Chain A
Amino acid sequence: MRASLFITCYNDTLFPETGRAVVRLLERLGVALDFRPQQTCCGQMHANTGFRGEAFSQAKRFVHLYQDSEIVVIPSSSCVAMIRDQYPALFDELGNNTLRNELKTLLPRVYELSEFLIDRLGVEDVGAYFPHRVTYHASCHGLRALHLGERPNRLLAKVRGLDQVQLPNLDRCCGFGGTFSVKNAEVSSAMLAVKLQDVVSTGAEYCTALDNSCLMHLGGAMHRQYAGMKTIHMAEILASTEAVPAEAAQ
């Protein structure tokens, strides 16, 4: 199976290890990946801050870039939610019929990582080994926009050595919210403080998610507070094996 990897702007810049893990994982599962070097950003930051025209120009770039892709895999639930939930309205408002049709044919081929693994590849056991205590943070977009449901848990359940601890108040936001974290920095920090209490209460070594934006927020607070925990994108757990452990665990 062929698939295009849209790594997203912030993973490319800040979390390349997540991208490397996605490549290792999907190639191990027999997927032939391509990476289009022209890719930049899906437009989420602009759309969520109210810069609709700018978001639209980035959305157009995305749709043109992946027109001929069989499948687009994206290891970020909020970027997938942007594409799935916000592109149609943006194109209705600012686009033309050609563009709307291009989007319509592309959307069913856009997958978040756990959706791709379970819905498209039909695998739950990806052959991973990660001998650590882990708690899963269901990011708001994964939970309420993509309705990932049990997919992440089904994948984690098959990881050998992994001891999963349920996170209390799983449906509560960590307070990141993109530019919300700086526009409303104090409220965002208050939400983060409450979330971190729940995360730390699990006694896990790692907090994982399918979105590095929440993890950057949580991880930033863990580091500031010497919380004795780390964050790790789920792709890195799923890519991890006895022979090649996750970079974060080395």
Chain B
Amino acid sequence: MSHAANHPVLDPTIAPPFPVAALPVLRNPQLRKNVAHAIDVIQAKRAKLVNEKTDWQALREAGSAIRAHALDHLGAYLEEFETRCTDAGGHVHWAADAAEARQIILDLLRQENASEVIKIKTMTSAEIQLNPFLEAGGVGVFETDLAEIILQLGDEEPSHIVVPALHVNRSQVREIFARRMGLENLSDDPHALTAAARTYLRQKFLKIPTAISGANFLIAETGAVAIVESEGNGRMCLTLPRTMITLAGIEKVLPRFQDLEVMLQVLARSATGERMNPYTSLWTGVTPGDGPQNFHVVLLDNGRSSILSHPVERQTLKCIRCAACMNACPVYRQTGGHAYGSVYPGPIGAILTPQLMQMQHAQSLPYASSLCGACYEVCPVKINIPEVLLDLRAQVVNQERKQGGRFFDPMYLGLRIANLLFSRAWLFHAAQWMGRIGIKLFTGKDGWIHSLPSIGAKWTQTRDLRGLPSQTFHQWWAARPKEAK
């Protein structure tokens, strides 16, 4: 395929580091325009609806408290969920990691003799790379969320957790549909495009009796699963099929049904800039004669327990996957999602992905932030993402310091030397003096530096730097007449 060289890799174990993965996007005008336009639209809608809420900060506080409480008693609430769900006729399975979850789901599909399955959008299934595993196991997988259809048919990768095809524009959608659905004369009119998707989807809904979903929330009190969506494809998957398999991270549990009051308010406003999302579905076990008659929930750990054991990092698990942080992020706005090398991009991805990888992969992600704080400001459950980023950076540095090769890395060397210099004022002042002499080599006649070697070149590749002044401030102060002090 022509774009194979630039085809994004969303597997953190093999993805290139963030600064490298970002390059093709930074050079791609179409992609940057699509991403900036899409998130500017969502951001503006969100801002308007958040501003109309006079109790927004109180809602955020409540959302944060509910999620923190659920995590503090996660074991008890998960067991309560299991009991209630089982009582209602569902089957609960526990998966320690991605491989176990994939196998459980494939085995369930085989019990059903299912050769095909339809899916409601679930980022958790992308996290465990479920689709390729099922395909390899002989099960045809069909996405039913419009954005996921675009990605599946176009052989694209998700670049956002709420609007996964945000990097694809209308004319690109037209091209994908025309090619894969055999509709040569399809126009790029939105009505025509949705009509084409509808025809494609209806055949799948009517034909395939087995479905896979994710979960926005699990309710411990009732054993219910909640899905919020915009298109109604989720509702179709919950009514027509005979069998439903729900895959959910263990952190998705809420203590009480009543907690939805807060969570649904903050989620819709933060995610899509709507007062309420169009379709909210709740189902509890099995109801005879109504909806799927076989219902399974696969509860996935896959690194979450280990995140929970860190006092600072555990707040990562409060996330309700609204994506407000990526929409607000000035880094994501330039790079889009693929640069993060994970199905979870943006600021939340920068903290979640390396932790899900037990800090063995994706170590460049905690540095993929200017620490501007916009993510924390918009987060509806008040995850202090900059705080977690800093903590993870410290973990990465501690890891890397144990590798001998890092000893002479210019950044490490520079920071160690800087630390020594800052420990004594006279050393710092001596270094300023030497720096002033050394930098003269690189300073132009206009008093500015246009080109530096080593890591300095990373600065001067796009910016100049003013040469060092002949007198530091402390020298000026020391030279002031005594009566002036």
Nearest CB in chain A: distance from B361 CB, A: 17
Pick the contact of A16 from B333, B367, B473 — CB < 8 Å?
B473
Nearest CB in chain B: distance from A32 CB, A: 9
With A13-B472, A221-B462 in contact, is A175–B370 under 8 Å at CB?
A: yes
Closest partner residue, chain B, to A187 (CB atom): B22
B415 at interface by CB-CB < 8 Å? yes
Stretch at the interface among B126-134, B282-290, B297-305, B389-397: B389-397
Stretch at the interface among A95-103, A122-130, A176-184: A176-184
Contacts of A219 in B (CB 8 A): 466
Q: Give me the interface of A with B, judged by CB distance under 8 Å.
A: 7, 9, 11-20, 23, 34-35, 37-41, 43, 45-52, 54, 57-58, 61, 86, 89, 140-141, 143-145, 171-173, 175-192, 194, 216-217, 219-221, 223-224
B411 at interface by CB-CB < 8 Å? yes
Contacts of B23 in A (CB 8 A): 186
11 residue pairs from A and B, CB less than 8 Å apart: A13-B435, A37-B474, A39-B425, A49-B393, A50-B394, A186-B19, A187-B22, A190-B26, A194-B333, A194-B334, A221-B463
Within 8 A of A (CB), among B355-400: 366-374, 376-377, 387, 390, 393-398
B281 at interface by CB-CB < 8 Å? no
Q: Are B474 and A7 in contact (CB-based, < 8 A)? A: yes
Q: Are B471 and A16 in contact (CB-based, < 8 A)? A: yes
> In this complex, which of B18, B396, B465, B477 has the most chain A Cβ atoms within 10 angstroms of its Cβ?
B477
Nearest CB in chain B: distance from A22 CB, A: 9
Q: Are B473 and A180 in contact (CB-based, < 8 A)? A: no
With A46-B415, A177-B371 in contact, is A183–B19 under 8 Å at CB?
A: yes
Pick the contact of A220 from B330, B415, B464 — CB < 8 Å?
B464
* Bound Cα distance A173, B347 (Å): 14
Nearest CB in chain B: distance from A35 CB, A: 5
Pick the contact of A173 from B372, B398, B419, B435 — CB < 8 Å?
B372
Within 8 A of A (CB), among B405-430: 411, 415-416, 418-419, 421-425, 428
With A61-B423, A183-B19, A216-B465 in contact, is A50–B370 under 8 Å at CB?
A: no
With A220-B464, A223-B448 in contact, is A45–B418 under 8 Å at CB?
A: yes
Pick the contact of A183 from B367, B423, B424, B476 — CB < 8 Å?
B367
B461 at interface by CB-CB < 8 Å? yes
Q: Are A180 and B370 in contact (CB-based, < 8 A)? A: yes
B432 at interface by CB-CB < 8 Å? yes
> In this complex, which of B22, B367, B368, B398 has the most chain A Cβ atoms within 10 angstroms of its Cβ?
B367
Nearest CB in chain B: distance from A60 CB, A: 10
Contacts of A35 in B (CB 8 A): 474, 477
B170 at interface by CB-CB < 8 Å? no
Nearest CB in chain A: distance from B252 CB, A: 29
Q: Are A50 and B335 in contact (CB-based, < 8 A)? A: no
Q: Are B462 and A189 in contact (CB-based, < 8 A)? A: yes
Q: Are A179 and B459 in contact (CB-based, < 8 A)? A: no
* Bound Cα distance A83, B367 (Å): 21
Q: Are B19 and A187 in contact (CB-based, < 8 A)? A: yes
Q: Are B458 and A185 in contact (CB-based, < 8 A)? A: yes
Besides A144-B376, A177-B369, 12 new A-B residue pairs in contact (Cβ under 8 A), listed by A number: A14-B468, A18-B473, A48-B393, A54-B415, A144-B372, A182-B459, A187-B368, A191-B331, A192-B463, A216-B466, A221-B464, A224-B462
Q: Are A14 and B466 in contact (CB-based, < 8 A)? A: yes
> In this complex, which of A18, A176, A180, A221 has the most chain B Cβ atoms within 10 angstroms of its Cβ?
A180
Contacts of A41 in B (CB 8 A): 418, 422, 428
B455 at interface by CB-CB < 8 Å? yes
Closest partner residue, chain B, to A145 (CB atom): B373
> In this complex, which of B334, B366, B377, B435 has the most chain A Cβ atoms within 10 angstroms of its Cβ?
B334
Residues 423-456 of chain B: 1 if any A CB is under 8 Å from the residue's CB, otherwise 0? Answer: 1110010001001000000000000101000011
Nearest CB in chain B: distance from A221 CB, A: 5
Q: Are B466 and A180 in contact (CB-based, < 8 A)? A: no
Pick the contact of B461 from A13, A141, A185 — CB < 8 Å?
A185
Contacts of A216 in B (CB 8 A): 465-466
* Bound Cα distance A220, B465 (Å): 5
Contacts of B456 in A (CB 8 A): 182
B481 at interface by CB-CB < 8 Å? no
Contacts of A172 in B (CB 8 A): 330, 374
B14 at interface by CB-CB < 8 Å? no
Contacts of A140 in B (CB 8 A): 370-374
Q: Are A171 and B374 in contact (CB-based, < 8 A)? A: yes
With A181-B459, A184-B19 in contact, is A7–B423 under 8 Å at CB?
A: no
Q: Are A173 and B370 in contact (CB-based, < 8 A)? A: yes
* Bound Cα distance A14, B334 (Å): 30
Q: Are B418 and A16 in contact (CB-based, < 8 A)? A: no
Nearest CB in chain A: distance from B176 CB, A: 27
Contacts of A34 in B (CB 8 A): 485
B4 at interface by CB-CB < 8 Å? no
Nearest CB in chain A: distance from B267 CB, A: 23
Q: Are B370 and A191 in contact (CB-based, < 8 A)? A: yes
> In this complex, which of B374, B387, B416, B456 has the most chain A Cβ atoms within 10 angstroms of its Cβ?
B374
Closest partner residue, chain A, to B415 (CB atom): A51
Pick the contact of A189 from B397, B461, B475, B476 — CB < 8 Å?
B461
Contacts of A12 in B (CB 8 A): 432, 472-474
Nearest CB in chain B: distance from A240 CB, A: 18
Q: Are A13 and B432 in contact (CB-based, < 8 A)? A: yes
Report the 7 A-B pairs with minimum CB-CB distance, sorted nearest first: A177-B370, A220-B463, A50-B393, A50-B397, A19-B473, A173-B372, A16-B473
Nearest CB in chain A: distance from B69 CB, A: 23
* Bound Cα distance A181, B333 (Å): 16
* Bound Cα distance A43, B377 (Å): 24
B478 at interface by CB-CB < 8 Å? yes
Nearest CB in chain A: distance from B329 CB, A: 9
Closest partner residue, chain A, to B427 (CB atom): A40
* Bound Cα distance A221, B239 (Å): 58
* Bound Cα distance A143, B376 (Å): 13
Closest partner residue, chain A, to B22 (CB atom): A187
* Bound Cα distance A116, B390 (Å): 28
* Bound Cα distance A216, B387 (Å): 25
